[in-house]
Amino acid sequence: MKTLDEFIVEKQQDFPHATGELTALLSAIKLGAKIIHRDISKAGLLDILGSHGANNIQGEVQMKLDLYANNIFKAALKARGQVAGFASEEEENIVIFEGERAEKARYVVLMDPLDGSSNIDVNVSVGSIFSIYRRITPIGQSVSEKDFLQPGSAQVAAGYVVYGSSTMLVYTTGCGVHAFTYDPSLGVFCLSHEKVIYPSSGCLYSINEGNSIQFPLGVKKYIQYCQEEDADTQRPYNSRYIGSLVADFHRNLLKGGIYIYPNTTYHPEGKLRLLYECNPMAFLAEQAGGKASNGSHRILDITPETLHQRSPFFVGTESMVKDSERFMTLYPNQ
């Protein structure tokens, strides 16, 4: 049985100029995930359920667990000294870590600390998403917002932790996607899925059809296509929607499928955050042989303009995402 630490060190040997800093950074994320796993497993017994009573910068209700997870990861990353700054869906502005070690650190981290947190009250899978970039500002200076506003193609690592029937950490450094299952009896993440690849064809589509009246016509037509009978393409596809991006993405990654969160009448720019959700998931998808798009353009090619920028999101099995893009092209701006 190979642990996450052993696997990372083993892979580090393939890079002659590796310094070990990224390894230590991933260990900080692993530590935060273990703490959150511990407390989520007894959430009903602790005072961490329900609303915090305030809204985040996007105007969404903050759950107690959102802030809890945000503070856990922020503290873990700051303590390691490999991170110069931190940006989060729960923070209005970037957080610059102070001190000599932070000023010399090579990386910045962006996170959705607890994706799908409203589902925790009803014991449904939730997750944490992370994205790692090399800083742009010179070493020795404090980082600035430009270090975080890089296109997704510049990511050096990305991943997620899904807290479900088991807790799994899935990550990529641009050399494939690898998944580790947490063994609470040993307190370690163990390699369970090496070099994860999407199945060549998918049969699942994940979208909140309750909002279908607000969808662009291209998305409506694609859903109709998914529901039509056609033996050659194994349609109709099965509809599966959990409401936690991490959980929906993880299922489709293993089983084959597409996840769609389009722009709507109420959210014309889309609802998911480009930096905290779309970019890291797009990086993982492409490394697993899948595809990620905003309906017309590759997600990883988009240069962000603001920290909390939103985007439509189509991600999953390559052939299914291409089909969805075809419908968006056939029915533009409708």
- 140, 160, 193 — which closes off a domain? 193
Whether the ω angle into residue 262 lies within 30 degrees of 0, i.e. cis, is no
How many Å from the N-terminal Cα to the C-terminal Cα in the chain? 52
Residue pLDDT, tens place only, 215-241: 999 999 999 999 999 999 999 999 999
Residue pLDDT, tens place only, 43-57: 654 555 545 555 555
- Taking the C-alpha atoms of 10, 16, 17 and 21 in order, what is their torsion angle to the nearest 10 degrees? 10
Same domain, 38 and 187: yes
Please report, for the domain that includes residue 222, its CATH number: 3.40.190.80
Same domain, 131 and 188: yes
Residue 171 lies in a domain: yes
Residue 198 lies in a domain: no
Residue pLDDT, tens place only, 97-149: 988 888 899 999 999 999 987 777 777 889 999 999 999 999 988 899 999 99
Q: For residues 252 and 160, what is the distance between their CA atoms, to the nearest angstrom? A: 14
Residue 268 lies in a domain: yes
- 157, 174, 193 — which closes off a domain? 193
- 167, 193, 219 — which closes off a domain? 193
Residue pLDDT, tens place only, 249-275: 999 999 999 999 999 999 999 999 999
Residue pLDDT, tens place only, 274-332: 999 999 999 999 999 999 999 999 999 999 999 999 999 999 999 999 999 999 999 98
- 59 or 146, higher pLDDT: 146
Same domain, 188 and 287: no
Residue 14 lies in a domain: yes
Same domain, 155 and 219: no
Same domain, 178 and 211: no
Same domain, 261 and 151: no
Please report, for the domain that includes residue 74, its CATH number: 3.30.540.10
Does the pLDDT of residue 40 top 90, yes or no? Answer: no
Same domain, 177 and 315: no
Beta strands 204-206 and 126-134 are unpaired
Q: What are phi and psi of 306, to 5 degrees?
A: -135, 160
Does the pLDDT of residue 23 top 80, yes or no? Answer: yes
Same domain, 226 and 173: no
Alpha-carbon distance values, 38 to 43, 128, 182, 184 (Å): 9, 14, 11, 9
Domains in the chain, number: 2
Same domain, 258 and 168: no
Q: Which residue has the tokens 């102070």?
A: 98
Same domain, 114 and 76: yes
Same domain, 163 and 213: no
Same domain, 148 and 244: no
Residue 199 lies in a domain: no
Which structural domain, as residue segments, surrounds residue 246?
A: 204-330
Residue 48 lies in a domain: yes
